[in-house]
Structure 1
């Protein structure tokens, strides 16, 4: 396996050290805490500081909280670069809170898959990682991996199936995919709700958090759960036999984006950080550390890591992004319908 952390510093230092940064040689960003922030520091933040001599001030804030802060501080924002995983960049760009990015200002932009940087000119920052939602399964209980979302309806799974509440972002995406393969759409989630009702009647359970999924796999004979690719890796690290497959019908994707905040002075330094985030080296590091899918076509992963993520042209071809703005507009109503369905 590559010595990724080291090569990130070495390969990017030449690029970044050629510019002398004047005035305030620091920027403020958000990160998501926990294991994510640990990887964020190792793969991007620390190499960036070492290569530029700059200081990166990190505020631990998840997407919704960071966006609320950005809105509240619109006349004097604290963030120079802001990261989202729930599609907030779409709203932020429309509200003028985020600045457009010229792809020519990023040396790695040309290496991104088209979907990852499609709306930079509108102010939507590039996606630097993808949380792919597919089928996490017990490799000992299921010697033949599931291959389709419709496999969730297999009567043999019954009480061995774990669903995640749609108050959880990954749970929402998994449900919307189940709804789609049952003939539903963002305009009609009833087919998905009907499928959930049948699964619950067959013995499936609903959990709310990632640790509860681990508990079900560890203690309650869970075989399969629609969830994110990185969690199969988390389960294996906990000593549980687990694998991940992309359903043949498509792979819902949570885009993790890095965005340039409007109205800040350190644009040049901020763009350097964004450029590092979309580099192949940084994304290889994230994939190895957390099993997030790269958006840089030049990222090279070992066979072990590649098996856990959406990787390469074929892997990313199946990615589906359900419109975050539509999800947000309907979230309250959908959760109410969901709660009525599972209250049985």
Structure 2
């Protein structure tokens, strides 16, 4: 008697086995997910070595990096808001606030960041609304030629007659410009906010200033050529200034130091928000923050980082240094920066 089951069962089993193998094989042939990061162009080879490469190995994904300044990258986010390309964006704190106000980034769930509790309080929710987390800070103190002038005790010392023709200040259009404006306002008893007092005081000594610098390379040249003796300097350029061979020292004035912060946020409608959270948390880890600080790429916000003296000197790091920091409120910078530029251009051109 014919029994079809004897013939069909092996075929059915073979078909099911083939299906099983097909299902098992599918992930192996699937394309890797790609996380797109928007970042500053500076130090990208070191970021690749210390952050991107180890994270790609950890997540099994790819990373594509778009670079540019704050304004250009925010404009790109805005142009692609309905179909975003970028997942994770790195901006200044005020740049991120601008992006948040335009609806370009989404509120964060800090519970997804296991390293969140290890970072400084000022790096947690730094712009309000849960839109960002700080990943690095920098101070702006006063650097001086120790063989030419005494250590500045106050930001007011920049107005000393002995520094006439030996002083450099940052242009207000630069990142450091508003920070120096803040410290001038604080030193001369201003009320804060629009830093009107600081603006007036800086413009009053414009003829004492060799140049209003636009970048750190200018500062290195001015010190190296013995043109200036004192200038406000961002800590991340300190190691470059030391290469001039000049007897330069760092001073923390009585009013403290201006401070800036760069932050991370996840783009609204990101297709890879889960990977963005993972990279964000990886970036905030003690291990990655230590590696970046040791290579003098970024000063750490993770409080667990311990640096040797020779590396600590070139980072915004340590109890005294951190306690001296004075941050410009991101909302003030957005509110007043166009007015500052207008006052500056009129005042400098007179």
Whether the TM-score (by the shorter chain) exceeds 0.5 is yes
Separation in structure 1 between the aligned mates of residue 119 and residue 75 of structure 2, nearest angstrom: 29
Q: Deviations over 1:84-128 (max 9, x none)?
A: 025222232344322222222112111011110135883422111
Native 8 Å contact 2:91 2:262 kept in 1:
yes
Aligned to 1:326: 332
Q: Deviations over 1:254-276 (max 9, x none)?
A: 21111111212222211110011
Shift of 1:24: 4.8
Aligned to 1:33: 41
Change (3 A) 1:67 1:257: same
Change (3 A) 1:46 1:245: farther
Q: Map 1:45-194 to 2 at 5 A.
A: 45-118=52-125, 122-142=129-149, 145-194=151-200
Native 8 Å contact 1:133 1:251 kept in 2:
yes
TM-align CA RMSD: 2.4
Shift of 1:23: 7.1
2:294 to 288, 294, 309: 288
Bigger CA radius of gyration: 2
Q: Map 1:236-275 to 2 at 5 A.
A: 236-275=242-281
Shift of 1:56: 0.7
Q: Deviations over 1:123-145 (max 9, x none)?
A: 42211101211112334445x54
Partner of 2:84: helix, strand, or coil? coil
Matched, 1:195 2:207: no
Change (3 A) 1:111 1:198: same
Q: TM-score, normalised by structure 1?
A: 0.84
Q: Which runs of 5+ in 2 are unaligned?
A: 1-29
Partner of 2:165: helix, strand, or coil? helix
Q: TM-score, normalised by structure 2?
A: 0.83
Count of residue correspondences: 321
Q: Which runs of 5+ in 1 are unaligned?
A: 1-21
Separation in structure 2 between the aligned mates of residue 284 and residue 147 of structure 1, nearest angstrom: 32
Q: Which moved more, 1:179-188 or 1:105-114?
A: 179-188
Q: Deviations over 1:185-236 (max 9, x none)?
A: 4444332233224433445532322222122111143111112111121222
Matched, 1:44 2:43: no
